[in-house]
Amino acid sequence: MKAQNTMKLTIESLSINEGFARSVICAFAAQLDPTIDVLSDIRTALSEAVTNCVVHAYKNGTGAVYITAALYPDGRIRIKVRDKGCGIEDLQKAMEPLFTTADGERAGLGFAVMQSLMDKVTVRSKPGSGTTVTLEKRIGSTHEG
Ligand SMILES: Nc1ncnc2c1ncn2[C@@H]1O[C@H](COP(=O)(O)OP(=O)(O)O)[C@@H](O)[C@H]1O
Ligand SMILES: [Mg+2]
């Protein structure tokens, strides 16, 4: 299905930019007239994905985080969060609840939270070259689909 609207945002992987990215995505998603609850789910899931870029992908510095979003006529939003950081060695393990490589600092629940709040979460990663997280959710009630 062809997107009815798209956006792109590139930010530096700094914590201070997380709120900015969240606000942009929420403002964009608002076009589909979501409920407060749905908007809050998207905000939280996006936050987890961006935090992972800040904390894990570029752990020894900073780098670019590429965020794109697309709205579809059937009321879905698809958000991609991509980094060119360290990548994930064992994706299956990384996605297990409570698994973290930042012991003591992180709960290891980021992917679990994304999965519980969104309809679909896909992760592609290549060690040494980066990670792309795709988040999808039906938010509009305007059209059948
Ligand atoms: N963008 C990323 N780049 C590199 N590693 C990542 C990225 N996102 C997640 N990871 C890896 O997956 C693990 C699990 O992520 P997550 O479920 O969000 O838990 P947490 O962030 O609390 O560790 C992280 O500990 C990290 O090793
Ligand atoms: Mg996390």
Could you tell which of 15, 56, 105 is best to mutate to test the pocket of ligand 1, judged by most ligand atoms within 8 Å of the CB?
56
Mean pLDDT of 91-95: 97
Tell me the CA–centroid distance for residue 138 and ligand 1, in Å.
25
At 145 the pLDDT is 45
Average pLDDT, the chain: 95
What CATH architecture applies to the domain 5-138? 2-Layer Sandwich (3.30)
Which ligand lies nearest to the CA atom of residue 125 in the structure?
Answer: 1
Mean pLDDT of 78-104: 95
Phi, psi of 2 (to 5 degrees): -80, 135
> What are the domain boundaries of the chain?
5-138
pLDDT band at 83; cut points 50, 70, 90: very high
- Residue closest by Cα to atom 18 of ligand 1: 110
Side-chain half-sphere exposure of 26, counting CA atoms within 13 A: 19
At 105 the pLDDT is 85
Which ligand lies nearest to the CA atom of residue 53 in the structure?
Answer: 1
Per-residue pLDDT of 111-129, as tens digits, reads 999 999 999 999 999 999 9
Which residue carries 């020894």 as its tokens? 60
Give the number of the atom of ligand 1 that is nearest the alpha carbon of residue 111.
Answer: 17
CA distance readout (Å), 49 to 7, 9, 103, 139: 17, 14, 18, 19
User: Alpha helix (H) ranges present in the chain?
Assistant: 18-29, 36-52, 91-94, 110-117
Give the number of the atom of ligand 1 that is nearest the alpha carbon of residue 101.
Answer: 25
At 103 the pLDDT is 80
Would you state the torsion angle of the CA atoms of residues 113, 88, 98, 106, taken in this order, to the nearest 10 degrees? Answer: -80
Share of the chain above pLDDT 90, in %: 92
Mean pLDDT of 32-54: 97
At 71 the pLDDT is 97
Give residue 75's region: left, alpha or beta (phi > 0; psi -120 to 50): left
Per-residue pLDDT of 49-72, as tens digits, reads 999 999 999 998 999 999 999 999
> Is 106 tagged catalytic?
yes
